[in-house]
Amino acid sequence: MLYIPLLRQTMFSKTCEYAIRAMIFIARKTKEGQRAGIKEIAKGIDSPEHFIAKILQELGRKGLVQSMKGPNGGFYLDKTSMERSLADVVRTIDGDKVLRGCGLGLRYCSETHPCPIHHEFKKIRGQLMKMLENAKVGTFTASLEKSKVFLKRS
Amino acid sequence: MLYIPLLRQTMFSKTCEYAIRAMIFIARKTKEGQRAGIKEIAKGIDSPEHFIAKILQELGRKGLVQSMKGPNGGFYLDKTSMERSLADVVRTIDGDKVLRGCGLGLRYCSETHPCPIHHEFKKIRGQLMKMLENAKVGTFTASLEKSKVFLKRS
DNA sequence: AGATATTAAGACCTTTTTATCTTTTATTAT
DNA sequence: ATAATAAAAGATAAAAAGGTCTTAATATCT
């Protein structure tokens, strides 16, 4: 008698949540002049090691993160990557449905053919998008150092 | 080489999208003095018949929708149900993570122990919640009749 | 009153997608 | 050469989405 999604619907997929956390973690390390190894990242953001590895591979292919193999290798961000926004990360992993899609999942919902909540929902999406566009991964490093802001569960 | 969720992350689960659409559809029918059968609902909102049936069972158990068996039976909304908000529907199906949870999925994120995007994200969630609280299922019937507003794909 | 047709409720099964783990291969510094 | 590290392939697990079939309730028609 299990009918209903059982309660893990979040704004972003778990994959995407890990991706954002990892990007911020790597940004911090990069600013400290270090590269971040996968094990370190996994511990630092409380994620399964092999899962975040796979996610980072994808982010690497898409050019959002840089890496080097071998001893003292690891992940880091170049100048361009440091300027990426969280919106870029979200779009890379989850696509743009959260940022652009109809709230009721209707494919042909539009200005001229709106679903019942179209106009109200559009405002929210817009604000979410704006917030994510303005949030550059490189800008979270300061707060990580000087405040209580955190990336893991405890 | 399939690494990434690709491309069905939406604000609400599909189950939840169907639930909202169905509630609005049934509200309209009720206002017209009719009950809505499952087949009719499925066609009216473009959903798999047996899937929406299951969702409606759950909504019925939780008291968000009323039903009658037998000839001329079907689903309808009593006065209380007509006043339910979309937030009620979302919480019933998807839980309250979208409305209350941390944007990065961190369980212990809070005011005093905030994640990097906590404060910004909180604003968005608040606006989403407010919008959904204000949207009563009974209030969409007018627009369904007099405008181009729709509930199915085409 | 009893049979029958209609409709929702419920149990259970299958497929697809997301999340996670295991193992092997390719790079690169020392 | 070797040790450390990411890249890659692929298997497994869990959850969401969708489907089949049976049971229970109820109106209507004998």
Query: Residue B60, Cβ neighbours under 10 Å: how many?
Result: 13
* Rounded-to-10 torsion of CA B40, B46, B47, B53: -20
Distance from CA of A136 to the nearest CA of B (A): 11
Please tell me the predicted confidence (pLDDT) of residue B142: 65
pLDDT tens string B10-49: 999 999 999 999 999 999 999 999 999 999 999 999 999 9
Q: Answer yes or no: are the C-beta atoms of A67 and A56 closer than 8 Å.
A: yes
pLDDT tens string B106-154: 988 999 999 989 999 999 999 999 999 999 999 987 655 554 567 775 5
Please tell me the predicted confidence (pLDDT) of residue A108: 86
- Counting DSSP H helices and E strands in chain B, the numbers are 8, 2
Q: Tell me: pLDDT of B1 over 80.
A: no
Please tell me the predicted confidence (pLDDT) of residue A153: 60
pLDDT tens string A62-90: 999 999 999 999 999 999 999 999 999 99
Chain B residues inside the 8 Å CB shell of A143: 116
Encoding tokens for residue A89?
A: 């990360």
Q: Per-residue pLDDT tens, chain A, 154 aa: give them.
A: 546 666 889 999 999 999 999 999 999 999 999 999 999 999 999 999 999 999 999 999 999 999 999 999 999 999 999 999 999 999 999 999 999 999 999 988 999 999 989 999 999 999 999 999 999 999 987 655 554 567 776 5
Look at chain A and count its residues: 154
Q: Which residues touch strand C (CB under 7 A)?
A: A 1, 13-15, 18, 47-51, 54, 68-73; B 2, 5-9, 35-39, 50, 53-54, 56-57, 60-61, 67-75
pLDDT tens string B84-111: 999 999 999 999 999 999 999 998 899 9
Please tell me the predicted confidence (pLDDT) of residue A143: 55
List, in order of start, the domains of chain A with CATH numbers. Answer: 13-84+137-154 (1.10.10.10), 85-135 (no CATH)
Please tell me the predicted confidence (pLDDT) of residue B122: 97
In chain A, the residue whose alpha carbon lies closest to the alpha carbon of B116 is A149
Query: Residue B148, Cβ neighbours under 10 Å: how many?
Result: 10
Q: Answer yes or no: are the C-beta atoms of A62 and A78 closer than 8 Å.
A: no
pLDDT tens string B11-22: 999 999 999 999
Angle at A127 between CA A121 and CA A129, to 5 degrees: 100
Chain B residues inside the 8 Å CB shell of A115: 149-151
Please tell me the predicted confidence (pLDDT) of residue A7: 82
